[in-house]
């Protein structure tokens, strides 16, 4: 049995990834700040016949990360795969963005990715696991809408951190890659009382060259590919956005 450790696995893309890896035969360990969502996700994973572990925690805190991965090793075995998925945004206009809010986004998104990757890699190395680390970035690392500075900066940092760690961890036989999702609909992948059925207009769909908005399984399948079938791929960023970032847009 293999083990997946995933941050932010209680809702959204992370929940979709956790469920898909469980279906593929992995034991799943989740850390998430939302206890209700995390426990609900684990209950569903167990209903699929897979083992599951949940800890409520903050990936920006070294103690929480250490505790989570130590318990993962003790209860499910050393992670074969780590997916750094947890992420937050700071709302509001750039001119009113406080340093504290900026630091918090960087703490969860970028520091959290560093802490989890470093800690997981130590366990993988100790247990001689040929591991895979996948960091979830965003197309916001390369293109922006207004007032996304903290989020965009953190995701750009994740892309750079990915290729740096891929080189540093190569002697440990740990591959590190990155996925940058575009618009992925997660309204129906929230905690049950907050879940909403997606509603997309024709314009929403047609702005994607593939003709639809993305879903969490689009990211999950790429993660499984990088994990199971991509032994010669490391240090790369894969953009999964239905073609949006390559489509030229003209003012009407």
Residue 45: C-alpha distances to residues 23, 108, 188, 198, 216 (Å) = 8, 25, 17, 23, 16
* DSSP string of 208-239, one letter each residue: STTSS-B-HHHHHHHHHHHHHS-TT--S-EEE
DSSP class of 111:
I
- 191 classed as catalytic: no
Task: Quote the CA–CA distance of 227 and 233 in Å, as a whole number.
Answer: 10
For residue 27, the SS3 value is strand
Catalytic-role residue among 26, 151, 191, 250: 151
Across 37-70, b (16+ Cβ under 10 Å) vs e yields: bbbbbbebbeeeebbbbbbbbbbbeeebbeebbe
The pair of structure tokens assigned to 43 is 């209950």
Please give the positions annotated as active site. Answer: 151
């Amino acid at each position: 049995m293999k083990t997946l450790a995933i941050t932010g696995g209680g809702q959204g893309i992370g929940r979709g990834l956790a469920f898909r890896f469980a279906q593929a035969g992995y034991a799943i360990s989740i850390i998430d700040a939302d206890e209700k969502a995390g426990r609900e996700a684990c209950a569903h994973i167990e209903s699929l016949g897979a083992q599951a572990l949940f800890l409520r925690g903050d990936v920006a805190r070294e103690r929480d990360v250490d505790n989570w991965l130590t318990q993962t090793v003790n209860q499910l075995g050393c992670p074969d795969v780590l997916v750094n998925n947890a992420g937050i945004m700071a709302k509001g206009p750039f001119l009113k963005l406080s340093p504290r809010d900026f630091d918090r986004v960087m703490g969860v998104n970028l520091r959290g990715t560093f802490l989890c990757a470093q800690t997981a890699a130590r366990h993988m190395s100790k247990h001689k696991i040929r591991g895979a680390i996948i960091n979830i970035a965003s197309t916001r690392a390369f293109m922006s809408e207004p007032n996304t500075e903290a989020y965009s900066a953190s995701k750009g940092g994740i892309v750079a951190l990915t290729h740096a760690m891929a080189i540093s961890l190569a002697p440990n036989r740990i591959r590190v890659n990155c996925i940058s999702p575009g618009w992925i609909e997660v309204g129906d992948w929230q905690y049950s009382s907050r879940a909403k059925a997606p509603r997309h207009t024709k314009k929403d769909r047609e702005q994607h060259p593939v003709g639809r908005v993305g879903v969490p399984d689009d990211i999950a399948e790429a993660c499984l590919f990088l994990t199971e079938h991509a032994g010669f791929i490391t240090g790369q960023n894969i953009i999964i956005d239905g073609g949006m970032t390559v489509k030229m847009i003209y003012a009407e």
